[in-house]
């Protein structure tokens, strides 16, 4: 599976008539469909000359607003440069550049192809035999993911929130380096909500772009007058660390039981397995991030410091 599922239904299969596409003068052959969603698809493509493989994300735009959303995603890819954040190889639009209402265009994003797939894929495979990761490896992976988040939160002139951090949005390189992807959910971190209309708009956007089992409580029920900031990502990081330990977000387990994720998140209910191989220090780090009240939630620097302390406790500095 390709690492760019982006909350899509994975749908493997060959494309019988091999499509050839030209992106800014470079020719690629479409090898197979990797995933598809409501308005976008991801294909495995191969450079016609070098045979190097890439992932092609196609975003279908039906309106000016759709095109603006696609252009914003491309803009984030272009300005974010970090070893733990996916790079944009190339991009273009197919169709009208001056799109009008009811016209259709398509954004093409050429991205790296990660043969190992996503952290979600990796954890799913390990979950079949309850093959828990070693705590040192968990800390290494989590610390690198935190570094990517810190880069976003420290970005100038304005801090950026990812808004859809989850194990399905973390690719793995050949040497098991985590790489954060899906910049389509990114937004200015600090949002001032002024009134019920603003609140409903943000809540609807969160429902569309932020995966439910990793979504922060304040995005389930946005208050009419409040400030939403980058600490939505800290809640998601807590869910990611839980998944590194137990293969899934704590709220994936709630969803699978058929219980209300909304109610479980709002109440801050966290249940750790009884037969856990991890000690209280690991659980404390998870709970440190999963504070229902965002004002009680730490910023990423505090998360990194607490993770470093745990690392030093497990591997004392000589």
Q: Which residues are catalytic?
A: 164
Peptide bond into 157 cis (omega under 30): yes
């Amino acid at each position: 599976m390709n690492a760019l599922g982006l909350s899509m239904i994975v749908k493997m299969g060959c494309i019988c008539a091999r499509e050839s596409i030209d992106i800014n003068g470079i020719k690629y052959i479409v090898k197979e469909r990797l995933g598809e969603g409501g308005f976008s698809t991801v294909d495995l493509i191969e450079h016609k000359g070098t045979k190097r493989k890439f992932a092609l994300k196609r975003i279908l735009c039906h309106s000016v607003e759709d095109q603006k959303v696609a252009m914003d995603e491309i803009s984030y890819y272009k300005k974010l440069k970090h070893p733990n954040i996916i790079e944009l190889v190339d991009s273009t639009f197919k169709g009208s550049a001056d799109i009008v209402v009811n016209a259709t265009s398509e954004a093409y994003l050429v991205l790296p192809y990660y043969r190992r797939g996503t952290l979600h894929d990796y954890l799913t495979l390990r979950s079949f035999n309850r093959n828990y990761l070693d705590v040192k490896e968990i800390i290494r992976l989590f610390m690198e993911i935190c570094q990517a988040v810190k880069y976003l939160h420290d970005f100038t002139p304005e801090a950026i929130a990812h808004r859809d951090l989850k194990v399905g949005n973390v690719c793995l390189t050949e040497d098991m380096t985590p790489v954060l992807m899906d910049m389509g959910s990114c937004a200015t971190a600090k949002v001032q909500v002024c009134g019920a209309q603003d609140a409903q708009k943000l809540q609807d956007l969160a429902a569309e772009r932020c995966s439910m089992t990793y979504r922060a409580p304040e995005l389930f029920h946005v208050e009419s007058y409040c400030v939403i900031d980058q600490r939505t990502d800290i809640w998601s990081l807590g869910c990611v660390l839980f998944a590194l330990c137990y293969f899934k977000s704590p709220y994936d387990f709630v969803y699978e039981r058929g219980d209300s994720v909304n109610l479980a998140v709002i109440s801050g209910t966290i249940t750790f397995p009884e037969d856990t191989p991890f000690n209280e220090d690991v659980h404390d780090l998870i709970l440190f991030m999963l504070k229902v009240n965002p004002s009680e939630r730490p910023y990423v620097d505090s998360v990194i410091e607490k993770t470093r302390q745990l690392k030093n406790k497990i591997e004392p500095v000589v």
